[in-house]
A and B are shown apart, each in its own frame.
Chain A
Amino acid sequence: MRNYNFDVIIIGGGAAGLTAAIYLSRARVNTIVLNEGTAGGQMVLTHEIANYPGVENISGYKLAGTMKKQAVSFGTEIRSNIRVTGMKLDGEIKTVEVNDKEIYSANAVIIATGGKSRTLNVPGEEEFKGLGVSYCATCDGDFFRDKKVIVVGGGNSALEEAVSLTKYASEVTIVHQFDHFQAFEHAVKEAEENPKISFIMESRIAEFVGDEKLRKVRIENQSTKEITEKDVDGVFILIGYVPNTAKLRDLIDLNSAGEIITDANMRTNIEGVFAAGDSIQKRFRQITTAVSDGTIAALNAAEYIHYFKTQLQAV
């Protein structure tokens, strides 16, 4: 194992993590960002951002690139596409193990692991990804011209994407687990009024079936448990986001949705461990709110490090 020592380790390099890095390294706090995916997180998944104040219109990829450049220019080290293979968050020295072969230690940690699209986790889903199963209607919609598709979900994205898919598909069926939708009334109305859209409520996809590509799905009625088969060319899974906190389950306090519980200073229940962005318990998940959380977490972490170092000197 190789060992590296920093003042602060930021786990996750999205808007929240990169903002925290900018603030910390600018304050000359020795900082590293350990990021499992592409630096920028969900920002890089966004075609166009039009609500980030001060920037009229920008691609998420560009905004993420600028944030990354800013953090690096102030001295942050960024490691992307790594795997976090272990964490010890309690005690004065916190450690993060990477790729089973490197150990990073620091006195403070900021967790900014964000969130990701929820998957169904049913047989065939992974096998037919890209061969009929999709998580992005904007990306893959045009592969389904005059084809039959299903949209799974009942929130705003599912209903809006179902309507947009009618531009390509011959029929769109919305499969939703409840008997009502969680979307805005106008989105529900628009979907209901579209002649190409039909609904299968209180049901879930139990299995994806096909050969070289997806051919049909097995749908289970939630109340009767009856299984029916439906021929289909594509299935778009738009069932919301989950926080990336699975690895933290036994390490810090999470709520029942798996979100990290913090106070207004972004402190978790463990001293020296802060959290920011989409992975924390909060109502609105936007780049602006992630940036705000990252700032607060960084300033508090810097104060904590300062306190820590002055305490040590006093001893």
Chain B
Amino acid sequence: MLDTNLTHVNSEEEFSKILNENENVMICCGRMGPMCVPVYGIMEELENEYTNVKFADMAFDSPHAHLIRNLPECRAFQGLPFTVYFKDGKVVKATSSIQSMDQIIEILDAEFTKVEA
């Protein structure tokens, strides 16, 4: 399990449940390394702002990580973390390696309509 304050996806069942229960989902699949930790930090920061998005992480070395690792959208990925954005259970965007706050916000705003608090 990753040492973050995000919701952790710990099994295949939890993965399905999160996708079934939430229209907009962002899952960051990584380790506790230098390219991954900043992305978790940004997600923790954005969690309060984007109340319409479910933010979660998944340990890259867990048995259920194949759910992200083997997605066709991640086929060419060669850098941690693999971050995948789902709408209604379908992948709408996926990125490989570290991303900045601005890059993540751009994707969230493009893919999910923000609900003003």
* Chain A interface residues toward B at CB < 8 A: 37-40, 44-47, 59, 61-62, 80-81, 83, 129-136, 138-140, 143-144, 212-214, 233-234
A-B contact pairs, 9 of them (CB 8 A): A37-B101, A40-B41, A61-B32, A83-B101, A131-B76, A138-B34, A139-B35, A139-B36, A140-B80
- 8 Å CB contact of B38 from A38, A130, A134, A234: A38
Instruction: Select the residue from A47, A61, A143 with max chain B CB neighbours within 10 A.
Output: A61
Whether, in the assembled complex, B96 has its beta carbon less than 8 Å from a beta carbon of chain A, the answer is yes
Whether, in the assembled complex, B37 has its beta carbon less than 8 Å from a beta carbon of chain A, the answer is yes
Known contacts A44-B41, A47-B32, A136-B35; A212 and B78 CB within 8 A of each other: no
**Nearest CB to that of A45 among chain B residues?**
B34
Q: Do residues B78 and A143 form an inter-chain contact, with CB atoms below 8 A?
A: yes
Contacting residues, chain B, for A47 (C-beta < 8 A)? 32-34
A55 to B41, CA, bound (A): 24
Chain B nearest CB, measured from A179 CB (Å): 31
- Per CB-CB distance, the 6 closest pairs between chain A and chain B, nearest first, are A130-B97, A130-B96, A38-B41, A130-B79, A45-B34, A213-B76
Contacting residues, chain A, for B33 (C-beta < 8 A)? 45, 47, 136, 138-139
Contacting residues, chain A, for B98 (C-beta < 8 A)? 129-130, 135
- What is the interface size of chain B, counting residues whose CB is below 8 A from a CB of the partner? 25
Known contacts A59-B3, A81-B42; A139 and B31 CB within 8 A of each other: yes
- Dominant secondary structure at the B interface: loop
Q: Do residues A62 and B77 form an inter-chain contact, with CB atoms below 8 A?
A: no
Contacting residues, chain B, for A62 (C-beta < 8 A)? 3
Chain A nearest CB, measured from B46 CB (Å): 8
Find residues 88-117 in chain B having any chain A CB closer than 8 Å to their own CB.
Answer: 95-98, 101-102
A-B contact count (CB 8 A): 87
Find residues 69-87 in chain B having any chain A CB closer than 8 Å to their own CB.
Answer: 75-80
* Per-residue A-contact encoding for B45-60, CB less than 8 Å = 1, 0 else: 1100000000000000
Q: Do residues B77 and A81 form an inter-chain contact, with CB atoms below 8 A?
A: no
Chain A nearest CB, measured from B70 CB (Å): 14
Contacting residues, chain A, for B32 (C-beta < 8 A)? 47, 59, 61
Chain A nearest CB, measured from B66 CB (Å): 15
Contacting residues, chain A, for B80 (C-beta < 8 A)? 139-140
Known contacts A81-B45, A143-B78; A130 and B37 CB within 8 A of each other: no
- 8 Å CB contact of B34 from A132, A139, A213: A139
**Nearest CB to that of A211 among chain B residues?**
B76
A310 to B41, CA, bound (A): 40
Q: Do residues A61 and B3 form an inter-chain contact, with CB atoms below 8 A?
A: yes
Chain B nearest CB, measured from A47 CB (Å): 7
Contacting residues, chain B, for A45 (C-beta < 8 A)? 33-34, 37-38
Contacting residues, chain B, for A135 (C-beta < 8 A)? 35, 98
Contacting residues, chain B, for A38 (C-beta < 8 A)? 37-38, 41-42
Known contacts A38-B41, A80-B41, A134-B97; A46 and B79 CB within 8 A of each other: no
Contacting residues, chain B, for A40 (C-beta < 8 A)? 41
**Nearest CB to that of B83 among chain A residues?**
A130
Q: Do residues A144 and B78 form an inter-chain contact, with CB atoms below 8 A?
A: yes
Contacting residues, chain A, for B96 (C-beta < 8 A)? 129-131
Q: Do residues B79 and A44 form an inter-chain contact, with CB atoms below 8 A?
A: no
Q: Do residues A143 and B42 form an inter-chain contact, with CB atoms below 8 A?
A: no
Contacting residues, chain A, for B31 (C-beta < 8 A)? 139
A131 to B32, CA, bound (A): 20
Q: Do residues A140 and B79 form an inter-chain contact, with CB atoms below 8 A?
A: yes
Q: Do residues A143 and B79 form an inter-chain contact, with CB atoms below 8 A?
A: yes
Known contacts A139-B34, A212-B76; A130 and B41 CB within 8 A of each other: no
